[in-house]
Amino acid sequence: MKWHGPSFRTTVVRLALIYISLFTVSTSVLFVSAYVLTLRAVDAGTDELMESQLQGLSEQYSVLGLRGLAAVIRERSQSLDRSRAVYLLADSTLHPIVGNLNAWPQLSQQRGKWFEFSVQVSTVKGMEQHPVRAALVMLPDDYRLLIGTDVIERSRLATVMQRAGALALVLIVLIGAAIAIWMNRRLLNQVQAIASAGQDIANGDFARRLPISGSGDELDELATGLNALLERIEQLTLALRFVIDGTAHDLRGPLNRLRMRLERLQDTVTSPAREQIDATLQDADTILHTLEALLRIAQAQSGSSGTEMASLNLGPLAHEVAELYAPLAEENGISLDATQLVTGAIMANRQLLAHAIANLLDNAVKYTPAGGHIRISVSEQDTTVTLQVADDGPGIPAVDRDRVLQRFVRLDSAQAEPGSGLGLSLVAAVCRFHHAQLSLQDAAPGLQVALYFPRTRSR
């Protein structure tokens, strides 16, 4: 059977894609959870610190009052470039009283009990926006206290982790793809070596074996198993050829002597013994004829040794055989059209092919009534060369078309015609020998036999 490369390649690519996405997804899950857990731990630390601050300041307030609280805050709050802690005490009009923020910030974003906003911080690199997490405490008389933390380190950590994650992901995809390509190429090479060996074997090179890489992998195991099978096939084929050649030889010898003796007897006797001998000779020739046909079919079928292929033009050969049958067709009142014959270069065995074409024309002439038409044509397509023999005789019913290609099958309607019933079987065997497709079609009315040969590319 023909090896279909592309479909396998897509399978391999699909497998590679599946592996890469599995890698990607699992790495992403791992990374995202690490990211979330880390940030959560950092936040928990910050929050704990602020909670304790809050608690401390609340205690200060309850002991020392607003004034005392302001004093503590003044003491604690330093410029933001040196401290992470943010303090701001404001009155009911949001006017700052004390703290290290110049103005009351927009408290629009709230997450849980924490507000988030950003402040301007002057650093060695210049002014920077820093995010702040803060808690708001309402004091009596509508005073309010904001206690927060500059969380720039947290957001830096988040950025670094995001970048690292993205980079890791890209690397994983690239490395995964590279490994997938390498492994697939190895696998593909191995499979293709097996496939091409298989193709050669199918084409009749029965001594060929599948390659074994020596790595002992599953493909090697498969190839070893198949090689054992091939060994067996080769033995059977050789045995078959031996039987074919042996049968040919062992039957021809005795048949030869039988024929010779009968021929020598022929002239020594008179009627009625003479008629008996004549009839016996005819039977011997019929046996011989059938034997020849069977042997030829067997030879074509087993790709027997000594049956060679050469490049040949189908059109001129069809013309020659048509020319051989033209007078016979005309004698029977049948027109034989052999005008549509292109060159049709193929690899073929001339004798086998000529025999097959002759059988097709023989059948056509036999089954086409007087006044009928037979057309033999050779045409070229992209990859095939087609030989067609069409007649407008009775044709073959669709249900019988497969059956007539088998050996010795003659349709009931054809029983009256002389012939061994091996004509089409030989055509079928010759087609197999040439890797040609044989198809029986309805010529409406009549039978059309089409042979599709692989075309030889001109170099």
Partner 1 sequence: MNILIIEDDLEAAALLQRTLHEHGYELAHAADGREGMERALQGKWDLIIADRMLPSMDGLSIVERLRSQGNRTPILILSALGNVDDRVRGLKAGGDDYLTKPYAFAELLARVEALLRRGQAEPASSQLSDCGVTIDLLARSVERDGKAVQLTAREFDVLVFLMRHARQVVTRKMLLEQVWDLHFDPQTNVIDVHMSRLRQALDRGASHALIHTVRGTGYMFGEQPL
Q: Which residues bind partner 1 (CB under 8 A)?
A: 245, 248-249, 252-253, 255-261, 263-264, 284, 288-289, 292, 295-296, 299, 304-308, 320-321, 323-325, 327-328, 331, 349, 351-352, 354-355, 358-359, 362, 365-366, 418-420, 423
CB 337 within 8 A of CB 318: no
Cα–Cα distance measured from residue 429 to residue 255, given in angstroms and rounded to the nearest whole number? 26
Pairing between β-strand 345-348 and β-strand 144-150 as defined by DSSP bridges: unpaired
Residue pair 117/168 in contact (Cβ under 8 Å)? The answer is no
Residue 195 vs 389, nearer CB to partner 1: 389
Q: How far is the CB of 417 from partner 1 (least distance, A)?
A: 10
Minimum distance, C-beta of residue 453 to partner 1, in the bound complex (Å) = 18
Specify whether the CB–CB gap between 439 and 432 falls below 8 A: no
**Cβ–Cβ contacts within 10 Å for residue 28, how many?**
14
Name the minimum Å distance from CB 207 to partner 1.
Answer: 19
Nearer to partner 1, 10 or 305 (CB): 305
217 or 292, CB closer to partner 1?
292
Smallest separation (angstroms) from partner 1 to the CB of 310: 10
CB of 357 to partner 1, least distance (A): 10
Q: Which is nearer to partner 1, 58 or 420 (CB)?
A: 420
* CA distances (Å), origin 131, targets 9, 173, 423: 53, 34, 95
Token pair of 69 as six digits: 């609280």
Between 161 and 284, whose beta carbon lies closer to partner 1?
284
Q: Cβ atoms within 10 A of the Cβ of 244, count?
A: 19
Contact 154, 42 (CB under 8 A): yes
DSSP type of residue 80: T
Report, in Å, the least distance between residue 351 CB and partner 1: 5
**DSSP states along 38-80:** HHHHHHHHHHHHHHHHHHHHHHHHHHHHHHHHHHHHHHH---T
Whole-Å CA distances, 138 to 88, 135, 143: 12, 10, 6
Nearest to 348 by CA among 264, 252, 262, 430: 430
State the minimum distance, in angstroms, from the CB of residue 308 to partner 1.
5
Nearer to partner 1, 10 or 282 (CB): 282
Residue 134 host element (H or E): strand 126-138
The bridge status of strand 310-313 relative to strand 126-138 is: unpaired
Q: Which is nearer to partner 1, 197 or 321 (CB)?
A: 321
Instruction: Sort 90 into a burial class: Cβ within 10 Å, 0-12 / 13-18 / 19+.
Output: buried
Cα angle: 293, vertex 296, 300; to 5 degrees: 140
Nearest distance from C-beta of residue 426 to partner 1, angstroms: 9
Looking at this protein, which amino acid is placed at residue 422? L
Q: How far is the CB of 14 from partner 1 (least distance, A)?
A: 48
Residues 6+ apart with CB under 8 A from 261: none
Rounded to the nearest whole angstrom, what is the least distance from the CB of residue 442 to partner 1 in the complex? Answer: 24
263: tokens are 């021929």
Q: What angle do CA 289, 295, 296 make, to 5 degrees?
A: 90
Cβ proximity to partner 1: between 52 and 351 the closer is 351
Closer residue to partner 1 (CB): 46 or 299: 299
Q: Which is nearer to partner 1, 70 or 429 (CB)?
A: 429
